[in-house]
Structure 1
Amino acid sequence: MRLHPVTLLFSGQKETESKFKKQYFSESLPQFRFAFLLLTILYAGFSIVDYLYIPNRLTTFLFIRFGIVLPLMAGTLFLSYSQYFERVWQGLLTLCYIVAGAGISYMLILEPENFSYYGGLMLVFAAGYFFIKLRFLYASIAGWIVLIAFIVGKVIAQQTFSELLVISIFFFTAMNLIGMFGSYYLEYYSRRNFFQHQQNLEQQNLLNEAHQNREKEIQQRTLELKQRNNRLEHELERSRIIENELIRVKEKAEESDRLKTAFITNLSHELRTPLNSIIGFAYLLSDDDIEQKERFEYQRIIHQQTDQMLSQINDIVEISKIESGRYEIDFVQCNLKNICQNVTQTMRKQLLPEVELIIDEKSENQIIPDVKTDCDRLTQILKQLISNAIKYTQKGEIKVGYSINQRERLLQFYVSDTGIGISEENRQKIFQRFTKLDPFAQGTGLGLSICKALIEQMGGNIDLESSPGNGTTFRFSIPYAPVETTVS
């Protein structure tokens, strides 16, 4: 490490000097700001001494403090938040040091018998050398300028060297020398630590480079062995792939048989009930002796069972289309508020007398712009979730809520009820096909499976919160596009 003995600059190492200055600035900036803020407050606070003990020169002293020194210090502190401050900060601090010291020196020239200002000048020296992060060379220049200005001013004002002047010169000179030595060694050790750190980094980089070269050599030596092994592994992998494919095909065939059997069993069970009702009541209608009122009731039951069977068939066709990939998502312009209002208005016809279907007030009061999504699929999902809630809610309320997450471009919905709730065991299989919590409830048990499949095909997800006796809340989110966006 080569440092200039006076300036402490790195000799012949411009890049190292530049790096040191940048690091010194970044590490010193927080302390400088705190120091300058504190010194500004103290410099202003000492105006109380002016007011109490020097009333005859109060105007002059206040002008020095608040008209010259403090504006310069405040401006420097303010400028420290500028990107250009790094270029000029040492020069500005030197100027502030000189101006603040000259201000106190001038006060001492005017009021030589007031010893509080001697202490003030000592504080200026201490702050300049140790507190405001001024480097050695700048601090030394500023300190001696202040001291010389003080001596010259006192001699001119007094026309003689008084005993007090000699003593003050002795103490101020001693303070300057102490400050210089302290500042010198602080900067010296700071530069030494920086240089050692840079050396360590360079050595570490050399070690890393050597390590990387060694790694490359090892990799090169093992490359041939790997190539040989790869041929063997390729053959083994090919054998494993063929074996796994055979196992997968076998399992898929078995799963297909199982699902087909389960599907046929469920289908026959679900269709048999409404079909038996239709056949039975159709047979009763053939009786000419039944009353007109009974005839209308039988016809109503036949229509109801026909609708139920058609709904079950539609569910089966729907899940088949989704799973076969023949379902297309059509993004069109939608209004969430209108969709939810239309869905709830339609579904209220299915409610029991003691159940209320409402839309969350927070959702109603939101201002949500039109968006692009698949309105028909969204309506289908909401109807299915509300229908599911109606089946298991005997009294209380069913609430529908919605919101928009514009940052992630997600539409978020929930359907909550005060129904019987779902146990932990059933929550694990609620989205499986042909799953019904109540075996006597109407439906194929495909509704929630269809909902989940549609939501996932639209790029969203669904989950639920529930416990027995405390109702159930289904939450789902789907992506959307702004209206002005073209969706492919």
Structure 2
Amino acid sequence: MDEDNFLLLNILGLMLIAALSIGLTALYWRRILKRIRRSSHQEKMRRLVDSRRAEQRARLKAEFTINILQEVQTLQVGLDSYLKLFADPDMSIPPNVWERTSRLLQRRAAQMQAMVDGALVVMQYDELPEVPHDDVVEVNVFCQDVFNSCMKYLRNGVETNFETSLPDDYIIKTNMSCLDILLRCLILCSMEYTTKGHVTLKVIADNTCGKLVFTLNDTGLGIPEDTKNQVFDRLPYDTVENKITGLRLRTCKAMVRLLGGAIHVDPRYEEGTSMVFSIYAAGPGG
């Protein structure tokens, strides 16, 4: 009888161990399946978010391009109207009217060229994943040269200043073409809207993150509060001058990304507009 009880206990023990093993195995696989489902759901959500972001970028890009083309079309229609008027052999134009109209035509042609050139730059660089950083740039000399090349657009009575904390022999490796386009676009934006006061460029080295920080301050019209967060992404729907500025700022955003930095409007600056951007500042051996 004792042997039978012992055998029965062994059988019950084995059955209990088997049941426990089956239960633990089922629990393990249940948790694995939950993780798989959760991971699958997270992957679906990630893909959905990525898809919606891509759709939003595509929509904004389409709006951006349409806005540019519409403005170019408007400028072209205006130019064609004047040209047809001047081509009329029976049209007699006084010299003073001809002079004013000629200046207007030159301005409109320059605006059309600025729109087309800016659009081509954005289309060329906006989708690039990266650019080579092989150019050795002497920062102070480079900034001063770009500043000087923009002086013909400066309004009478406006002062320009260049302030740097870098030694004159401070050198970095970057993409000179992108940096030139970036700096030039920002300076032209400041000069366009500053009729008195100053346009000041400052540059410092941020050694904690290995970047150069540029600040362009002006005493111009400033940017409305409700548009400060959109100036680098959307074109305004008003004047051609503002659209050209919006196109230049969109170009700046593309260049800053390729140069490994960021750009923003300083909300604390109240005298006009302050644009702050950074770029990756590898040394000559970097």
- The two structures have a TM-score, normalised by structure 2, of 0.75
Q: What is the correspondence of 1:336-347 to structure 2 with a 5 Å cutoff?
A: 336-347=139-150
Pair 365,428 (structure 1): closer, same or farther in 2 beyond 3 Å: closer
Pair 303,401 (structure 1): closer, same or farther in 2 beyond 3 Å: same
Alignment partner, residue 47 of structure 2:
245
Question: Structure 2: where are the runs of 5+ without partners?
Answer: 1-22
Alignment partner, residue 231 of structure 1:
33
In structure 2, C-alpha distance between the alignment counterparts of 1:333 and 1:393, rounded to whole Å: 32
Which structure is larger by alpha-carbon Rg, 1 or 2? 1
Equivalent of residue 321 in structure 1, options 113, 124, 127:
124
Q: Does 1:396 align with 2:197?
A: yes
Alignment partner, residue 273 of structure 1:
74
In structure 1, C-alpha distance between the alignment counterparts of 2:218 and 2:261, rounded to whole Å: 22
In structure 2, C-alpha distance between the alignment counterparts of 1:400 and 1:247, rounded to whole Å: 39
Q: What is the correspondence of 1:272-291 to structure 2 with a 5 Å cutoff?
A: 272-288=73-89, 289-290=92-93
Q: Which amino acid aligns with 1:316?
A: A
1:347-371 Cα offsets, whole Å, 9 max, x none, are: 11112212222222xx288434222
Aligned residues of 2:236 and 2:243 also touching (Cα < 8 A): no
Equivalent of residue 443 in structure 1, options 243, 258, 262:
243
Deviation at 1:397, TM superposition (A): 0.6
Alignment partner, residue 418 of structure 1:
219
Equivalent of residue 384 in structure 1, options 185, 206, 211:
185
In structure 1, C-alpha distance between the alignment counterparts of 2:266 and 2:25, rounded to whole Å: 54
Q: Does 1:455 align with 2:245?
A: no
Alignment partner, residue 479 of structure 1:
280
In structure 1, C-alpha distance between the alignment counterparts of 2:268 and 2:277, rounded to whole Å: 18
Q: What is the DSSP-based 3-state SS (H/G/I as helix, E as strand, rest coil) of the residue aligned with 2:241?
A: coil
In structure 2, C-alpha distance between the alignment counterparts of 1:371 and 1:277, rounded to whole Å: 46
Deviation at 1:229, TM superposition (A): 1.6
Structure with the largest fraction of helix: 1
Deviation at 1:263, TM superposition (A): 3.0
In structure 1, C-alpha distance between the alignment counterparts of 2:130 and 2:118, rounded to whole Å: 13
Question: Structure 1: where are the runs of 5+ without partners?
Answer: 1-220
Structure with the largest fraction of strand: 2
Higher relative contact order (CA 8 A, sep 6+): 2
Deviation at 1:416, TM superposition (A): 0.4
Aligned residues of 1:282 and 1:302 also touching (Cα < 8 A): no
In structure 2, C-alpha distance between the alignment counterparts of 1:375 and 1:257, rounded to whole Å: 29
CA RMSD of aligned residues (A): 3.3
In structure 1, C-alpha distance between the alignment counterparts of 2:45 and 2:173, rounded to whole Å: 46
Aligned residues: 261
Aligned residues of 2:206 and 2:213 also touching (Cα < 8 A): yes
Deviation at 1:479, TM superposition (A): 1.5
In structure 1, C-alpha distance between the alignment counterparts of 2:84 and 2:55, rounded to whole Å: 42
Q: What is the DSSP-based 3-state SS (H/G/I as helix, E as strand, rest coil) of the residue aligned with 2:150?
A: helix
Q: What is the correspondence of 1:291-370 to structure 2 with a 5 Å cutoff?
A: 298=101, 300-325=103-128, 328-360=131-163, 363=164, 366-370=167-171
User: Identity over the aligned pairs, expressed in percent?
Assistant: 23
Q: What is the DSSP-based 3-state SS (H/G/I as helix, E as strand, rest coil) of the residue aligned with 1:383?
A: helix
Aligned residues of 1:329 and 1:458 also touching (Cα < 8 A): no
Aligned residues of 2:265 and 2:276 also touching (Cα < 8 A): yes
Q: What is the DSSP-based 3-state SS (H/G/I as helix, E as strand, rest coil) of the residue aligned with 1:470?
A: coil
In structure 1, C-alpha distance between the alignment counterparts of 2:70 and 2:225, rounded to whole Å: 27
Equivalent of residue 434 in structure 1, options 219, 225, 235:
235
Aligned residues of 2:201 and 2:215 also touching (Cα < 8 A): yes
Q: What is the correspondence of 1:251-266 to structure 2 with a 5 Å cutoff?
A: 251=52, 255=56, 258-259=59-60, 262-266=63-67
Pair 330,299 (structure 1): closer, same or farther in 2 beyond 3 Å: farther
In structure 2, C-alpha distance between the alignment counterparts of 1:400 and 1:283, rounded to whole Å: 45
Pair 353,317 (structure 1): closer, same or farther in 2 beyond 3 Å: same
Q: Which amino acid aligns with 2:27?
A: L
Aligned residues of 2:64 and 2:234 also touching (Cα < 8 A): no
In structure 2, C-alpha distance between the alignment counterparts of 1:244 and 1:365, rounded to whole Å: 44
Deviation at 1:395, TM superposition (A): 0.8
In structure 2, C-alpha distance between the alignment counterparts of 1:298 and 1:463, rounded to whole Å: 39
Aligned residues of 2:179 and 2:259 also touching (Cα < 8 A): no
Aligned residues of 2:111 and 2:240 also touching (Cα < 8 A): no
- The two structures have a TM-score, normalised by structure 1, of 0.47
Deviation at 1:307, TM superposition (A): 3.0
Alignment partner, residue 11 of structure 2:
none
Pair 358,266 (structure 1): closer, same or farther in 2 beyond 3 Å: same
